Amino acid sequence: MKRIIRIASFLLILSAAASAQNGQDGSLLSLLDEQFSLDRTTNAFKSPRVINTHSMEMLAPGTMDFRILHRFGDVSRGGYELFGLDQASMRLGFDFGITPNLMAGFGRSTSKKETDAFVKYRILWQSKGRRNIPFSLIWVSGMTINGLHDPVGIEGVATTFGRRLGYYHEVIIGRKFSERLTLQLSPTLVHNNIVANILVPNDLFAVGFGGRFKFTKRLALVWDYTYAINRFPANLNYNPLSLGVDIETGGHVFQLHFSNAVGMNERAYITDENGNWLKGQIRFGFNLSRVFQIVKRKI
């Protein structure tokens, strides 16, 4: 009987030791998982654009984002023009996710009958764990083509294809601070091959500010503002400021906003004439985004 009790006690001691060892191994494995896992930030914004500006968000590979950007006339026109609803401008866009860090797109605007295209590449991806990267860094380059019969509008200056062109280059530095708050900064260079007069620079430097604050699971406040650095003061042109609300409805992102800008690409809203918010020269608009999976994802 004593021998049986000794054997049972010995087995209990071995079982307890094994259990303790397993617990230690489990905690060590969990620490290793935390150290060597990579948690990349997603859903900083719900679409690749804030309102006017590109956002730090990218499309997933194999997806297409069909975007309708619609903006009415000045609210300050009053009731006769139904507070701007009698006029409208729009842009249709198609954006494509190529790789996790590369996307491209093109669009057509009614303003100046302008066609635009861009390439967007993510250099750094905000993450923690194996790599602790505190922000995302994205490069965007784009080109625009003015489609008007006389895009120059200067007597004696011939219209050539080269004079229809404009370019922009943009660096986006963004960080998702929490599930609610995302902020980004975007230094930008816009080049126009031809300008209206000598007071308008061919190369316009600007810096954009954008953000998102999420109220609920499907509702968020978004804003963007771009400050033109070397615009001549005599040009009474106001910097573009836009405020909006994102509404998530399944596969759609529906955005309602107010903006003082007519144009809906970088060349247009940074260099073209914008309204004065203080005088009510703002426009109500909406952006509609629908994402389609056009290439089957590899498992």
How many Cα atoms occupy the beta-carbon half-sphere of 155 within 13 Å? 0
Helix and strand tally (H, E) in the chain? 2, 14
Q: Is the pTM higher than 0.85?
A: no
**167 DSSP β-pair partners:** 143, 191
Do the Cβ atoms of 176 and 41 come closer than 8 Å?
A: yes
Give strand pairing partners of 139. 121, 171
- pLDDT, one tens digit for every residue, the chain (299 residues): 455 445 445 444 444 444 445 444 555 445 445 556 878 888 899 889 999 999 999 999 999 999 999 888 777 777 777 776 767 888 999 999 999 999 999 999 988 899 999 999 999 999 988 888 999 999 999 999 998 887 776 666 667 888 889 999 999 999 999 999 999 999 999 998 887 777 788 899 999 999 999 998 889 999 999 999 988 775 567 899 999 999 887 667 889 999 999 888 999 899 888 888 888 889 999 998 888 888 876 65
Q: Which fold has domain 37-293?
A: Porin (2.40.160)
Q: How far is CA 170 from CA 48, 71, 73, 153, in A?
A: 14, 24, 28, 28
Tokens of 9: 């006690």
pLDDT at 18: 47
Contact 146, 114 (CB under 8 A): yes
Per-residue burial over 185-222, b = 16 or more CB atoms within 10 Å of its CB, e = otherwise: bbebbbbbbbbeeeeebeebebebbbbbebeeeeebeb
Residue 33's pLDDT is: 53
